[in-house]
Amino acid sequence: MTNGLRAAIEFTVDGTPIVVQDATGTLLDVLRDQIGITSVKDGCSPQGQCGCCTVLVDGQPRVSCVTPARRVNGRNVTTVDGLGPDVSARWAEAFHSTGGSQCGFCTPGIICRFEGLRSKGVGHDDRQRPAKALQAHLCRCTGWQSVVDAWCEFDAIDVSDAAPFDQATAQRRAELEGSAAQDVGPSVALGRSGFASDTAPSDGLVAVPDAVGSGWIVAETRNEAVRLAGKVQGRRTTGEWAPPLAVPEGDWDLTLTTTWVEPAYLETDSSWCEPGGEAVSPLANGGAFGAKNSSEVAEVARRLADQHGRPVKVCYSREDSVRKGPKRPPIAAGMMANGSGVVHVVRAPGIAEAIHSVAPAVEVVEIDVVGPPVSSAIRGAGWVEAAVLLAGLRGEVGWIDAPGGGSATAEVGDDGEIRIEVRCGDPLDETVLRSYCIGAAHMAVSWVTSESLAVDDDGTIHDLTIRSFGVLRAVDTPRVEVSVVADGGEPVNGSDAVFAAVAAAVWIDLGRPPQWPHRLA
């Protein structure tokens, strides 16, 4: 045994004694990179803000990405894999039966958090305690409600009598909603869906962007690559900057200005490749709301693997994803009561066509703006804003048709509940469909009322931590009710129309404020 910080430590992981010779890193580094436990996910390290890496240390939830490995010397660490087959199977079925897991990246940490609640004797009829506990986590897919439903269902789960489901049919619905290959089933909640960073060979190299983002640092481990890159963790700013575009001049009946928002997918961009091989897709088990369609990581992994003659895994940090990943193009619009108007929008290929597909009478002016990259591939970019503006002119949502997809309408009840109707052909699997619709509703409410990024006049993003994006928390999310209207047609995407309808309903309910986000008191 050596002296100082590199002294070996001994602890137990999922019932197995472990000796680690170099404990200079975090518990997350040890669990993933040295022991190979991939159910513990890295969504923001070293920010300690997304909860994806949560494990139990002596039975208490602990965020492993900010826990020095030496702190667990002599202690018991339990991951979702070590909960015991009966407990983990019940959690998996609870999340599956309620639609509480879509991509499955965040749920292993959430399950560990819930196990901490169970150890304190919190009852499964209590929705407030789990919702409050989820403030230590971020889930972008499900909208929280289905996650809390999973907590409530746990006691009632009998794994031996679980309802059968048609996996192929469920996956087809999930792929329609997520626009990417999607695994569906109980094991998804346990983090076993083959994410790119989980499947890389253990003997490969790891590459991360350098401190300025223009080159790549390659090393034997991620911990070493990050150290060599000399990165400084991003922060949340206290400053505010105006939206990048101004409303066009004119005597308008209605105006709307939006700003930069972060897609906030949980699995940061990652890929790996063997020399001479094909790189693994960064989409893995989910579409990232269109934000990874142009990600560079697969091409970089292929190039570096050929260069080094070894497998190479390319990993973004959370700050890398924020700086490099595309944003929804901000708009500034002026509209007349007859549906005509002018929309200024940050230039992005295809954005004008997207707006015109819903609002053909408006003039679209694309404007070059210094700032983060943008993409019209982001969920509903352009056409959703157009649909919301037209609904605002009417003063009611009505049925909103998504280009090439389904239709939806929504209203905000007097009690704040979001009530949705959706038509998207054959539902295929209503649990999956409802989960995606609830998630879309959460994203819409969050977009209108709380999400933004601080981007200065030089185009530099100052909000780089996951909790600075403004994503609505579980405790602040209204109840969502979804009614599926089966119309006998071919199955199509439904949740994008829900996203538009809920955004319109919330905006109208708030009195059509001219700038988003319109922060709630």
Which of 28-37, 141-150, 208-217, 503-512 is predicted least confidently? Answer: 208-217
CATH number of the domain residue 422 falls in: 3.30.365
What residue numbers bound the domain in which 20 lies?
Answer: 4-78
CATH number of the domain residue 190 falls in: 1.10.150.120
CA–CA dist 377, 351 (Å, integer): 9
Instruction: Indicate if the pLDDT at residue 191 is higher than 80.
Output: yes
Q: Are residues 274 and 371 in the same domain?
A: no
Instruction: Indicate if the pLDDT at residue 236 is higher than 90.
Output: no
Which single residue is written with the structure tokens 């910080």? 5
CA–CA dist 373, 413 (Å, integer): 37
Top pLDDT among 24 and 301 is at 301
Q: Are residues 225 and 281 in the same domain?
A: yes
DSSP secondary structure of 279-313: PPPTTTTS-GGGTTTT-SHHHHHHHHHHHHTS-EE
CA–CA dist 323, 436 (Å, integer): 27
Domain membership flag for residue 255 = no
The answer to whether 268 touches 300, Cβ cutoff 8 Å, is no
The answer to whether 54 touches 137, Cβ cutoff 8 Å, is yes
Residues 6+ apart with CB under 8 A from 63: 48, 51, 53, 54, 136
Q: Are residues 345 and 399 in the same domain?
A: yes
Bridge-based pairing state of the strands 270-273 and 9-13: unpaired
Q: Are residues 169 and 107 in the same domain?
A: yes
pLDDT per residue as tens digits for the range 302-339: 999 999 999 999 999 999 999 999 999 999 999 999 99
Q: Are residues 149 and 67 in the same domain?
A: no
Average pLDDT for 158-179 = 89
Domain membership flag for residue 320 = no
- Is the dihedral angle over the CA atoms 94, 99, 104, 109 positive or is it negative? negative
185-207 burial string, b = 16+ CB within 10 Å, else e? bbbbbbbbbebbbbebeeebbbb
The answer to whether 407 touches 497, Cβ cutoff 8 Å, is yes
Domain end (from 315, 348, 383):
315
pTM: 0.95
Q: How far lies 267's CA from each of 180, 224, 488, 513, in Å?
A: 14, 21, 36, 33
Instruction: Report the run of H or E that residue 504 belongs to, with start and end.
Output: helix 495-509
Give the percent of the chain with pLDDT over 70: 99
Q: Are residues 147 and 276 in the same domain?
A: no
Q: At what angle do helices 495-509 and 383-394 cross, to 10 degrees?
A: 40
Average pLDDT for 265-269 = 94
3-class state of residue 229 by DSSP: helix
Instruction: Report the run of H or E that residue 320 belongs to, with start and end.
Output: helix 318-324
Among the listed residues 332, 326, 321, the one whose alpha carbon sits nearest the alpha carbon of residue 371:
326
Domain membership flag for residue 412 = yes
Among the listed residues 136, 88, 145, 149, the one whose alpha carbon sits nearest the alpha carbon of residue 110:
136
Q: Are residues 211 and 352 in the same domain?
A: no
**Count of domains forming the chain:** 4
DSSP secondary structure of 392-435: HHHTS--PEEPTTS-EEEEEE-TTS-EEEEEE-S--S-HHHHHH
Domain membership flag for residue 517 = no
Domain membership flag for residue 484 = yes
List of E strands, 132-204: none
Domain end (from 21, 52, 78):
78
Instruction: Report the run of H or E that residue 12 belongs to, with start and end.
Output: strand 9-13
CATH number of the domain residue 21 falls in: 3.10.20.30
Q: What share of the chain is helix, strand, coil (3-state, %, to 5)?
A: 35, 15, 50
Domain membership flag for residue 446 = yes
- Is the dihedral angle over the CA atoms 416, 417, 418, 420 positive or is it negative? negative
Domain end (from 30, 50, 78):
78
The answer to whether 39 touches 28, Cβ cutoff 8 Å, is no
Tokens read off for 145: 């409600």
pLDDT of residue 4: 45
State the CB neighbour count (10 A cutoff) for residue 429.
22
Residues 6+ apart with CB under 8 A from 487: 423, 425
Q: Are residues 216 and 169 in the same domain?
A: no
3-class state of residue 327 by DSSP: strand
pLDDT of residue 521: 67
Phi/psi at 334 (nearest 5 deg)?
A: -120, 130
Q: Are residues 113 and 50 in the same domain?
A: no
Instruction: Report the run of H or E that residue 256 belongs to, with start and end.
Output: strand 254-257
Number of H helices, E strands in the chain: 14, 17
Give the percent of the chain with pLDDT over 90: 88
Q: Are residues 149 and 216 in the same domain?
A: no
pLDDT per residue as tens digits for the range 69-112: 999 999 999 999 999 999 999 999 999 999 999 999 999 999 99
Task: For residue 170, give the DSSP letter.
Answer: H
pLDDT per residue as tens digits for the range 506-518: 999 999 999 999 9
Q: Are residues 404 and 500 in the same domain?
A: yes
Instruction: Specify the amino acid at residue 99.
Output: G
Domain membership flag for residue 238 = no
Alpha helices in 159-279 (DSSP H): 167-178, 196-199, 222-229
Task: For residue 174, give the DSSP letter.
Answer: H
Domain membership flag for residue 380 = yes
Top pLDDT among 8 and 366 is at 366
Q: Are residues 72 and 39 in the same domain?
A: yes
Instruction: Indicate if the pLDDT at residue 2 is higher than 80.
Output: no
pLDDT per residue as tens digits for the range 273-289: 999 999 999 997 878 99
Instruction: Specify the amino acid at residue 3.
Output: N
pLDDT of residue 97: 95
pLDDT of residue 486: 86
DSSP secondary structure of 69-134: GGGGTT-EEE-GGGS-HHHHHHHHHHHHHHT--SS-SSHHHHHHHHHHHHHTT--TT-SHHHHHHG
- Band (6; pLDDT cuts 50, 70, 90): low
